[in-house]
Amino acid sequence: MPYLFSSESVSEGHPDKVSDQISDALLDQFLAYDENSHCAIETFCTTGQVIIMGEVRSKEYIDLQTIARNTIKNIGYTKAEYQFDGDSCGILTAIHEQSDDINRGVSRADEENQGAGDQGMMFGYASNETEDYMPVSLYLSHLLMSTLAEIRKEGKVMTYLRPDSKSQVTIKYSDENVPLCIDTIVVSTQHDPFDDDDDIMLAKIKDDVIHILIPRVKAKLGDKVLALFNDDIKYFVNPTGKFVIGGPHGDTGLTGRKIIVDTYGGKGAHGGGAFSGKDPSKVDRSAAYAARYIAKNMVAAGVADEMLVQLAYAIGVAQPVSIYVDTYGRSNVKMSDGEIAEKIKQMFDLRPKAIERILKLRQPIYLETAAYGHMGRKNQLVTKTFTSRYNEAKTVEVELFTWEKLDRVNEIKTAFDI
């Protein structure tokens, strides 16, 4: 019998994502001027207030307030009527140095044997239901949010939009786990007050979502995902009827509270560790990227149509304590999942320092990850410029989303005789 599966996304103006972006903007600043910085930065935001907390070990000194304010303004919080804006919000900082007890487990004379920054398990997932090897429900949820943000920033149509919004997409699947169609789309978007009554306001926003947002989303899709759209989709747009109060004024934001949005939308599994504000010595982040890199290349090579990869580490120990694979019965090779895991162990160097080197994780590449998902994004070279009150401006070319590269496919095909 067909079944339904849903995933959600949130906009860059969602309070938790505001926090994530501030944390990662600060991390990027540290890495731009000191690539060996160790950071674990948490951000809390509420009505008119931002609190930045955490641990840092770095040679660089940065202007936390300026970076936080610029990040908030770039998101779109630029008006006092939002009760939270980059120019007037208060910013408190409580940053202290990383614990020596943690650092002694991470730092090594031989950098290649650097220990993991913490214990824990991290998951990577991929399936062949989209060209990006992501769950289609999450892929569409992210695309709805990023496209809505584009419309808001252009300021030509839907001019009432404010920065905070959420989406959710429900997909109907066959018994063979093949997406059949879109069942439901939910969009809730913050907006300016309307002069009309609530019913007229709601009708206007719903009509604009269906006739402006959805066509722009569909224009970005390939034939495979586009075929899932149909005339029977159920739309729920601002189902409470009104969404004027939003952002950090409507709901407190905290770094790391959207980890399912950040990863696979509920497909696969999650180890519980957040990403934003953490440098790559923290395997919560780097090993999660490595697991995605492995899963995506394995599925792209045809080893399986769907794959989950778990990596687990002990603090201060370089090699993972375990590698686990689940192909959900959709493997295309005559090997058990345990044998596939053993092959992965032989093929991929999963020591934290090796992951940093292979995926180029000591670059200032993290602000771009902090909204619209860390996985399934476009691998590309970009030029970024950093300014500092204490140093000269610095322009660097960096490679974004290196864990999305399909550069191991041929090697995997050879290893698995595909």
Binding-site sequence positions: 14, 16, 42, 55, 98, 164-166, 242-243, 251, 257-258, 274, 278, 282
Binding-site sequence positions for L-methionine: 55, 98, 251, 282
Binding-site sequence positions for ATP: 14, 164-166, 242-243, 251, 257-258, 274, 278
Domains of the chain, residue spans: 3-9+135-245, 120-127+280-415
CATH class of 3-9+135-245: alpha beta
Q: What is the pLDDT of residue 110?
A: 57
Provide the token pair at 41: 């930065």
Cβ atoms of 303 and 340 within 8 Å: the answer is yes
Q: What is the pLDDT of residue 194?
A: 87
In this prediction the pTM is 0.95
Strands 179-191 and 161-173: antiparallel
Binding-site sequence positions for K(+): 42
Query: Which H or E element spans position 136?
Result: helix 136-154
Provide the token pair at 206: 């719903």
Instruction: Single out the residue of 66, 67, 91, 88 nearest to residue 79, CA to CA.
Output: 88
Mind listing the pLDDT tens digit for each residue in 373-394? 999 999 999 999 999 988 899 9
Mind listing the pLDDT tens digit for each residue in 212-223? 999 999 999 999
3-9+135-245 and 120-127+280-415 have identical folds: yes
CATH class of 120-127+280-415: alpha beta
Alpha carbons 182 and 172: distance in angstroms, whole number: 6
Q: What is the mean pLDDT of residues 244-271?
A: 95
Residue 324: pLDDT band by 50, 70, 90 thresholds? Answer: very high
Greater confidence, 317 or 104?
A: 317
Q: What is the pLDDT of residue 98?
A: 67
Mind listing the pLDDT tens digit for each residue in 125-142? 999 999 999 999 999 999
Where b means 16+ CB within 10 Å and e means fewer, 381-408 reads: eeebebebeeeeeeeeebebbbbbeeeb
Alpha carbons 298 and 191: distance in angstroms, whole number: 43
CA distances to 92, 120, 126, 323, 336 from 350, rounded to whole Å, are: 38, 14, 18, 10, 21
Alpha carbons 353 and 357: distance in angstroms, whole number: 6
Alpha carbons 355 and 121: distance in angstroms, whole number: 15
Q: What is the mean pLDDT of residues 207-213?
A: 97
Q: What is the mean pLDDT of residues 301-322?
A: 95
Provide the token pair at 408: 């191991």
Binding-site sequence positions for Mg(2+): 16
Q: What is the pLDDT of residue 196?
A: 76
Q: What is the pLDDT of residue 115?
A: 72
Residue 1: pLDDT band by 50, 70, 90 thresholds? Answer: confident
Q: What is the pLDDT of residue 97?
A: 79
How many other CB atoms sit within 10 Å of the CB of residue 100?
A: 9
Q: What is the pLDDT of residue 117?
A: 75
Mind listing the pLDDT tens digit for each residue in 105-130? 565 555 666 778 788 999 999 999 99
pLDDT at 82 over 70: yes
Range of lowest pLDDT (176-180, 211-215, 306-310): 176-180
